[in-house]
Amino acid sequence: MRKRFLACLAIAALAGPALALPAVPTAAEIQAIQSRQAILLDAHLAGMKAGLKLDESQAKAWPAFESAIRAAAKARANRWSETRARMETGDRPSPIERMSLMADHLDNSAAELRKVVEAAKPLYDSLTEPQKLAFGPLMREFKPANRR
């Protein structure tokens, strides 16, 4: 019994640092993450455009839609960087500050989504019925994985 207790204690001591709070990513790790996200965004946009098989008149509405998607992705990345910078300082926001930050985040996300909707509407309205059926599933690719 005592041996088992000492073995568990030794394992806990060795695993202790691994169970600590996750480390704040380094600048190099952040750069690598942002690079991967940019590549995925490019791939999702190219895949969506190819999947919709836009004709010439429909393709005219594509640049505004793509620009709105890219702007929303950039704003999301900037908010993430700001959050990371706050974490690096070690200052924990008060519950009131945290709620205020959440409200600001929701306001910004809503404004970005409205811009995407405004840019997507002319494109969507120009689509044929089969293209409209494909539009929704293709748009889901732009959702962050943890919100699916």
- 127 CB-near residues (< 8 Å, 6+ apart): 52, 58, 135
- Distance, in Å, from the CA atom of 53 to the CA atom of 81, rounded to the nearest integer, reads 35
Q: Flag whether 14 is in a domain.
A: no
The verdict on residue 130 lying in a domain is yes
Task: Check if the beta carbon of residue 30 is closer than 8 Å to that of residue 84.
Answer: yes
How does residue 148 score in pLDDT terms, banded at 50, 70 and 90? very low
**pLDDT digits 0-9 by tens, 82-103:** 877 777 777 788 899 989 989 9
Residue 12 domain-assigned?
Answer: no
CA angle 28, 26, 72 (to 5 degrees): 75
Highest average pLDDT, of 89-93, 121-125, 135-139, comes from: 121-125
Please indicate, yes or no, whether the overall pTM of this predicted structure exceeds 0.75.
no
Question: Domain containing 63: what range?
Answer: 26-147
Contacts of 64 (CB under 8 A, 6+ apart): 119, 122, 123
Residue 82 belongs to a domain: yes
- Whether residue 13 is contained in a domain is answered as no
Instruction: Compute the distance between CA of residue 139 and CA of residue 142 in angstroms, rounded to an integer.
Output: 6
Q: How many domains in the chain?
A: 1
* Owner of token pair 């960087």: 81
Domain assignment present for residue 15? The answer is no
- State pLDDT tens for residues 21-47: 456 667 788 778 888 888 999 999 999
pLDDT of residue 120: 95
2 within domain boundaries: no
Distance CA 54, CA 48 (A): 10
Distance CA 132, CA 9 (A): 60
